[in-house]
Structure 1
């Protein structure tokens, strides 16, 4: 019985994680299925400025709704996908993109993990090449005699 319960719970968890978000309201959906598909594809690429970790397609925030409507308006007006994205970025900045573009302004951000990995490797290599240095001072004659006496007994 517990196996069946575990299997049911796992199935529910997987279904919940792969289920589509229902943030898009029925009044936002376009009549043309091709345009609606393009709108959904674009909405997944744009960040909700309120939630910041969700796309506007997944977010229930009012600003996300406004952005979804704006995307659909631009598509109905005849803009291409690139023109819609460029329009949104021109109004809200690069931060609105869930996958930022690679450019000179964010090159350090993209390259930082590689730079840290190389720097860590160099530091480990330098540390490994140096001989281990004893931090203790050498024993004086009295301490050495005491140690010898302890080891003999």
Structure 2
């Protein structure tokens, strides 16, 4: 058993999944600084087809087109924010993994916390209203009511 474990030990690193990058060799820029910026930008842009992958990891054709577009804009001298603005103008805010918290998006950013606070407030007021000992005291029966009750119970 020990011999089998020793034989299998070198294979363990091969079993650990490595991140799969879809960047093709013909897409890589010669300038390592620009390539690093392109990779950073590719990680914050969502693939319009895959929806849960960034364009750096997606094999979809539109992701390849976006990777090439990002690299072209960087070679042209655009800043990172200018590249993101350009891609957002062409594909919409959907391609951003973290859209700006402004305008219509501000409502979406704030809706979750507001609903949480509203739910907590409603729950607190409901539970507070159910507290024992909050009910008003019961008044004692007067003599006439007590006689009538005794008559009813004796029958």
2:110 maps to 1:111: yes
SS in 1 for 2:81: helix
Name the Cα RMSD after superposition: 2.9
Shift of 1:34: 0.7
Query: How far apart in 2 are the matches of 1:127 and 1:96?
Result: 42
Query: How many positions carry a matched residue from both structures?
Result: 130
Distance 1:30 1:112, change over 3 A: same
Structure 1, gaps ≥5 residues long? 133-140, 146-153
1:89-110 per-position Cα deviation (integer Å, ceiling 9, x unaligned): 1111111111111102111211
Distance 1:131 1:63 in 2: 58
**In 2, Cα distance between equivalents of 1:33 and 1:79:** 16
Q: Secondary structure at the match of 1:28?
A: coil
| Larger Cα-atom Rg | 2
1:8–1:117: structure 2 CA closer, same or farther, 3 Å change rule? Answer: farther
Deviation per residue, 1:37-85 (Å, 9 max, x gap): 0100110011100001110001000000000000001111111111111
Deviates most, 111-120 or 64-73:
111-120
Aligned to 1:40: 39
Write the distance in 2 (CA, Å) between the matches of 1:10 and 1:130: 60
Q: Secondary structure at the match of 2:48?
A: coil
The equivalent residue for 2:28 is 29
2:26 is paired with a residue of what secondary structure? helix
Q: Runs of 5+ in structure 2 lacking a partner?
A: 132-148
Q: TM-score under structure 2 normalisation?
A: 0.73
